[in-house]
Each structure stands twice: as structure tokens, then as C-alpha cells.
């Protein structure tokens, strides 16, 4: 457990000093700002938080893999993986700490979007309960995205490739299944259940559903498990 | 302290370490000597649990490297070949982080950092970002990291590469001092370095151990190829013929100059006919102004091994297998 604390701390500190992390965060906030003013902040529009959260969810498909790409790829490329893996820490501790480090940074980013909510609150009413559930959804979504990004980073020493794999996987899991369920109404029942956006939308509408909670948590754990296996397999070569 | 039995490692089809067995006692300093690509780093990486062996067994400090990997990793301090480290951290911050990973409490970490900062001369740059350090400085930080938790076993992969001559000497002294309380295994390509620091040398080439022992033992073993040089004043053919008949002399080559015959004498293995040659020349009334044993140097031996390995590698590339000659040690 102490190892996890030490490793997480180091991972989080790296983000605090990383220009790429700041650029990503900046781009994210600017884009959500634009989407926000164009969709939600119009006279006569309903002052719902749902479109805003939905847009943020989509942007994270691109932002999270850029945040996570360095997690293991950088260690492979610079060789620091050798000092890390010969220290008395388990593979699982390494994966969990990397995940927690990026998740903490992500949480900070999500907290900053409270600004948008405050603006809505000035011009109209917001439902605090719905907003809180939507934020919970955003955190769960981020955890899942981060685990997929971490898995991608565990696969390769090239950061760019890791981000491409990450975005690719997330795009398949979110957009493609979404698209397919529109194309094939017959399969909509099934696809809607496995579709990330479908599950996320439940939270955006302010509904707290334990099925969706378990959906995100189990997928997150599954990808963290996969990442651990990949890291383990890197020893056997 | 370290036990290695029949260790074998394949990278895909390529055999990097081939049935290597050796052991290192507590408190010993053992040098792992071999040319490029001999399998030194691979062996050390298996010992540090960085990668598993294809077959064979190894244990460090009484723990199996495969089944009790965490215990092994807690017991060792490892300096990897390229000294990788997080360049965005400051030296002190990095050492503090590494101390936490080894489970050191705050007070133990502070004391440890203070100790290694002195041992490895980090004083001038301990507050600087690692990014800004020179290769040699990084090497010292790497060594400091390996020593931080006062491990039983130190595994150092080419510890003096990149250091200036003064630092090399200091580092050797440091390693020798450490050996009183630690067991040290270090790798090197440089023979004098191993001779200067280590009590025992293991020479590895092409993934196989070709010789091992103390520098004296190794020298003894290669004395078979040693020669005598003598200069005797007398009739050339008598001198050469007489010496050739002495017990233990295998072959004599001679040149003469102003009545002085210079003899190069190959001797049988482990034979030393110097006294007999001196006696003979006294009996015959020849004057003798020089006689000495030319011991084959470890350096020569090492170069010979290296050359043989390169030849085998070249053969392998051409696809014609040459039988393993090994060094005739
Ligand atoms: N990661 C790897 N993948 C494939 N082959 C490797 C790998 N690492 C080493 N090898 C091969 O294994 C053999 C032994 O390499 P190793 O690094 O152990 O040699 P070394 O004795 O440390 O050499 P050097 O003195 O140059 O450091 C070499 O033939 C090398 O090409
Ligand atoms: Mg090496």
C-alpha cells in the first residue's frame, strides 16, 4: 500500500509539471467552453446540463489517451522500467498507481468544469442532484477511459502509437457501437446495453443506476487487469 | 549468497546465456568479465528478477529469483547498465522516492540519503534536476540509489563506465570497502578493472563460462602457454642444443649477436626448467646474463577468448558451424 502511495504521488507530480498535460487540459476546457456557449448558453434553450456532459464525454475520448500515453511507454523507452521492476513492487501496484495518478489529474480537470455550471446557474436554474449524478458519471467514464489508455500504453514503447491505440479502442467502444445501434435497430437492445454512451447517458439524465455503475467499474477493473497482464508479459521475451 | 545453476536464456531463437553455473559467497567481490554480447547483462538481469530465465535456477540471498522475486528485489541494490532514471526529478527527490519503494521510513531515508551522498560524492549536485547531470554524475546517482537501503547484495553492471580516472579509482575503493559488509557482483569488459577490484573473476564469452578463479589461479592455469627468455654467451649450436635437452623444455628458438645467444624457450605445462639451465651453463663455463619467465598475461588470454568468440559469431553469420573450441585454460 505504501508503494502505491509513493508511486501515485510520483505519477501525479509528473502531470503537474508536464506541458502536454496542461496543453491537453487547456484544449479540453476551451473546447467545452465553445460547445457550451453554442449549445447550452442560448436564449430560449433549456438550461439542462445533459448536452454539456455529453460533449465532455466525447472530448475525453481524445483527451484521456493523450494523458495516459506516457504512463508506461515512456518507462519502456527511457529504460526506467528496469529500475522500477527491479524494486520490490508488484506489477499490480505499478498499474494501480499509474491509474490513480492519471485519474487524480483527470478529477482536477473535471472539477474545473464547475465554472460552466456556475454560468448556467447565473442564467437559470440547475438541478443540483442531477448535476452531481452527472459528475459521478463523468468520473466513472474517465476511470474507464484511463484504464483503456493505460492498457494501450502498456502495449508499446511508442507514445504516439499508444495514444492511437487508446483513441482507436475508445472510439470503437463509444462511437462505433453507437453508430451500429442506429444502423441496425434490431440489435439496438443489445448494443444499447454494451454501449458506453448509452450507459453514460443514464448518468447525464440524472439517474443513478447501479447497473451502469457496475458496468463502468467492472470495465475499468477489466482493462487494468489486462494492462497488468501485458506488463507481466513484457518480462517474457 | 548467490547461487546460479544451469541458467539458460533464449531471446527468441538466439541463445544469450548457455547453461551458466556459479556461486558467490557472502562478502565476496566477484567480477563478471566478457566481451560485448557475452551475456553479462542478461545474467545480471535474471539475477535482479527483471526477466525470467528460459531454464535453470538462480537464488539470491537465499531466495529463488523466480518464486520469491519480491524478497530478492528487497535484498539487492542494482545498478543497470544504462543507468536509467526519471530525469524530471531532482537527485534528492529521486533518492527519496526510491527509498520509499524499498519501504524505508522517513528517518531511515534521510539518514540513507545523507550516507550515500557522502559515499558517492553527490554533494555538489544533489539538489539539481537529473536532466542537467553529466553521464558520470548520473552513474554516481545510480550507485547511490543501489546503496540507499544498505542491501545485502550489490549487482553492478559496468559501474565505472563513463567516470573520469579519479572517480574510477574512488569507485573501486568504495566497492572494495563495501565488500566487507555486502556481497558484490560487477560486470566489466576491462580486465585491469576486474583485477584491481575483485577477489574472483568469472570470464564469460558467447553465453558460456570459459574460466573462473582468482587472478592468480587464472594466471596459473594459462602458464601452460608461457615461455622462458634466456641470453647465454657460447657457441650457438652447442648452447641451443644443450638447452633443448634440459628436462621440461619443449622447443627452443634462437638468434645470436656478438657471441650472445638469445633463446626463446617454450616449456611444458607447469614445468620451470630455469634452475637446470643455469646449472648447465655454469658446468659448461658459459656466461649467462639473463633468464626470465614470461608469464602469459590475463590480458592476452582475454583477448584470445574475445577473438575466438568473434570468429564463431562470424561463422554463425555465414551459417557454417565451427566446433566450440573454448579457450584452452
Ligand atoms: N532485449 C534483447 N532482445 C534480443 N536479444 C538480446 C536482448 N538483449 C541482449 N540480447 C542479445 O543477447 C546477447 C547477450 O547480450 P548481453 O546484453 O547480455 O551482453 P553483455 O555481455 O552485457 O554485452 P556488453 O558488454 O556489450 O554490455 C547478445 O547477443 C545480444 O544481442
Ligand atoms: Mg552489458
What is the tens place of the pLDDT at every residue in B183-193? 999 999 887 78
The Cα A77–Cα B138 span in angstroms is 18
Confidence at B222, pLDDT banded by 50, 70, 90: low
ipTM at complex level: 0.88
> Which of A7-16, B113-122, B217-226, B292-301 has the least mean pLDDT?
B217-226
* Cell numbers 500504453: residue: A153
Give residue-wise pLDDT tens across range B46-75. 999 999 999 999 999 999 999 999 999 999
Tens digit of pLDDT for each residue in B79-103? 999 999 999 999 999 999 999 999 9
Q: CA-to-CA distance for B250 and B244, rounded, in angstroms?
A: 7
Does the C-beta of B204 come closer than 6 Å to ligand 1? no
Query: For the domain bounded by B227-294, which CATH number is listed?
Result: 3.30.70.1340
DSSP state for residue B251 in the 8-state scheme: E
Q: Of the candidates A3, A14, A79, which has its C-beta nearest B88's C-beta?
A: A14
Which element (helix H / strand E) includes A104? helix A91-112
Q: Where are the domains of chain B?
A: 2-220, 227-294
Q: What are the CA-CA distances from residue B329 to residues B217, B278, B304 (Å)?
A: 11, 29, 11
Of all helices (H) and strands (E), which one includes residue A181?
helix A177-183
Neighbours of A30 (CB within 10 A): 10
Q: Do domains B2-220 and B227-294 have the same CATH topology?
A: no
- Residue A178, burial from CB neighbour count under 10 angstroms (0-12, 13-18, 19+): middle
Stretch B13-36: mean pLDDT? 90
Grid cell digits, residue B211: 574460466
B80 lines ligand 1 (CB under 6 A): no
Tens of pLDDT, residue by residue over A96-138, are 999 999 999 999 999 988 887 787 778 777 788 888 898 999 9
Cα torsion B315, B321, B323, B324: sign = positive
Which atom of ligand 1 has the smallest separation from the CA of B17? 14
- A105 is written with which cell numbers? 489529474
Query: Rg of chain A over CA atoms, in angstroms?
Result: 19
- Using the mean position of ligand 1's atoms as its centre, give its distance from the Cα of residue B18 in Å: 13
Instruction: Give the Cα separation of A145 and A162 in Å (integer).
Output: 13
How far apart are the CA of A222 and the nearest CA of chain B, in angstroms? Answer: 25
User: What is the pTM assigned to this prediction?
Assistant: 0.83
According to the CATH classification, is domain B2-220 in 3.40.50.300? yes
Q: Which position has the grid cell 566478457?
A: B34
Nearest to B146 by CA among A134, A45, A82, A40: A82
Residue A231 pLDDT > 90: yes
A151, pLDDT greater than 50: yes
Alpha carbons B109 and A148: distance in angstroms, whole number: 35
What's the pLDDT at A41?
Answer: 58
Instruction: State whether the beta carbon of B312 lies less than 6 angstroms from ligand 1.
Output: no
Q: So what's the pLDDT on residue B324?
A: 47
Task: Residue window 6-25, chain B: list those with CB within 8 Å of chain A.
Answer: 11
Chains A, B: CB pairs < 8 Å: 64
Q: Using a CB–CB cutoff of 8 Å, tell me whether B149 touches chain A.
A: no
Q: Where are the domains of chain A?
A: 2-231
Task: With beta carbons less than 8 A apart as the criterion, state whether B197 and B186 touch.
Answer: yes
* Contact (Cβ atoms closer than 8 angstroms) between residue A153 and residue A230: no
Please report which residue ranges of B152-297 form alpha helices under DSSP H: 165-178, 191-197, 215-221, 236-245, 274-284
Contacts with A, B 37-76, CB within 8 Å? 45, 48-52, 70-71, 73-74, 76
pLDDT tens, A24-54?
888 888 888 887 777 665 555 555 677 788 8
Q: Chain A: give the shortest CA distance to residue B40, in Å.
A: 16
Cβ–Cβ gap A88/B101 under 8 Å: yes
Q: Tell me the mean pLDDT in the region A140-145.
A: 95
Whether the pLDDT of residue B178 is over 80: the answer is yes
Amino acid at each position: 500500500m505504501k508503494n502505491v502511495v509513493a508511486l501515485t504521488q510520483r505519477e501525479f507530480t509528473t502531470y503537474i509539471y508536464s506541458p502536454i498535460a496542461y496543453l491537453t487540459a487547456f484544449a479540453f476546457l476551451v473546447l467545452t467552453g465553445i460547445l457550451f456557449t453554442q449549445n447550452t448558453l442560448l436564449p430560449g434553450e433549456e438550461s439542462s446540463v445533459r448536452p454539456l456532459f455529453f460533449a465532455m464525454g466525447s472530448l475525453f475520448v481524445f483527451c484521456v489517451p493523450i494523458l495516459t500515453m506516457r504512463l508506461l511507454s515512456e518507462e519502456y523507452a527511457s529504460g526506467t522500467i528496469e529500475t522500477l521492476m527491479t524494486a520490490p513492487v508488484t506489477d499490480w501496484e505499478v498499474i494501480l498507481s499509474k491509474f490513480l495518478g492519471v485519474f487524480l489529474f483527470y478529477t482536477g480537470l473535471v472539477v474545473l468544469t464547475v465554472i460552466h455550471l456556475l454560468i448556467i446557474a447565473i442564467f437559470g436554474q440547475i438541478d443540483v442532484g442531477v448535476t452531481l449524478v452527472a459528475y459521478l458519471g463523468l468520473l466513472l467514464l474517465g476511470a474507464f477511459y484511463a484504464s483503456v489508455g493505460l492498457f494501450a500504453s502498456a502495449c508499446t514503447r511508442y507514445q504516439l502509437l499508444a495514444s492511437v491505440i487508446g483513441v482507436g479502442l475508445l472510439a470503437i467502444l463509444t462511437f462505433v457501437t453507437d453508430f451500429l445501434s442506429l444502423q441496425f435497430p434490431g440489435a439496438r437492445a443489445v448494443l444499447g446495453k454494451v454501449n458506453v454512451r448509452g450507459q453514460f447517458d443514464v448518468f447525464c439524465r440524472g439517474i443513478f443506476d447501479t447497473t451502469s455503475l457496475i458496468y463502468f467499474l467492472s470495465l475499468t477493473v477489466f482493462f487494468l487487469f489486462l494492462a497488468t497482464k501485458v506488463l507481466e508479459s513484457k518480462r517474457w521475451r | 549468497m548467490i547461487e546460479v545453476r544451469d541458467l539458460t536464456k533464449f531471446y527468441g531463437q538466439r541463445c544469450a546465456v548457455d547453461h551458466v553455473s556459479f556461486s558467490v559467497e557472502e562478502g565476496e567481490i566477484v567480477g563478471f568479465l566478457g566481451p560485448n554480447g557475452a551475456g553479462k547483462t542478461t545474467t545480471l538481469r535474471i539475477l535482479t528478477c527483471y526477466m525470467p530465465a528460459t531454464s535453470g535456477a538462480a537464488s539470491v540471498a537465499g531466495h529463488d529469483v523466480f518464486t520469491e522475486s519480491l524478497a530478492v528485489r528487497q535484498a539487492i541494490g542494482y545498478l543497470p547498465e544504462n543507468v536509467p532514471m526519471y530525469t524530471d526529478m531532482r537527485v534528492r527527490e529521486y533518492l527519496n522516492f526510491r527509498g520509499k519503494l524499498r519501504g524505508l521510513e522517513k528517518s531511515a531515508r534521510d539518514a540513507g540519503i545523507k550516507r550515500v551522498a557522502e559515499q558517492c560524492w553527490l554533494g555538489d549536485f544533489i539538489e539539481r534536476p537529473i536532466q542537467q547531470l553529466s553521464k558520470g554524475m548520473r552513474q554516481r546517482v545510480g550507485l547511490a540509489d543501489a546503496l540507499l537501503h544498505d542491501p545485502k547484495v550489490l549487482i553492478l553492471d559496468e559501474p565505472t563506465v563513463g567516470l573520469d580516472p579519479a572517480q574510477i579509482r574512488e569507485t573501486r575503493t568504495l566497492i572494495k570497502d563495501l565488500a566487507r559488509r555486502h556481497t558484490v557482483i560487477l560486470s566489466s569488459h576491462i580486465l585491469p578493472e576486474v583485477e584491481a577490484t575483485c577477489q574472483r573473476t568469472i570470464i564469460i564469452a558467447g553465453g558460456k563460462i570459459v574460466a573462473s578463479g582468482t587472478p592468480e589461479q587464472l594466471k596459473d592455469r594459462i602458464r601452460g602457454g608461457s615461455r622462458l627468455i634466456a641470453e647465454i654467451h657460447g657457441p650457438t649450436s652447442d648452447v641451443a642444443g644443450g638447452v633443448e635437452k634440459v628436462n621440461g623444455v619443449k622447443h627452443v628458438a634462437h638468434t645470436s649477436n656478438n657471441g650472445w645467444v638469445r633463446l626463446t624457450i617454450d616449456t611444458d605445462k607447469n614445468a620451470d626448467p630455469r634452475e637446470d639451465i643455469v646449472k648447465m651453463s655454469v658446468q659448461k663455463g658459459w656466461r649467462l646474463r639473463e633468464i626470465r619467465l614470461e608469464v602469459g598475461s590475463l590480458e592476452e588470454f582475454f583477448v584470445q577468448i574475445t577473438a575466438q568468440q568473434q570468429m564463431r559469431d562470424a561463422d554463425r553469420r555465414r551459417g557454417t558451424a565451427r566446433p566450440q573450441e573454448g579457450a584452452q585454460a
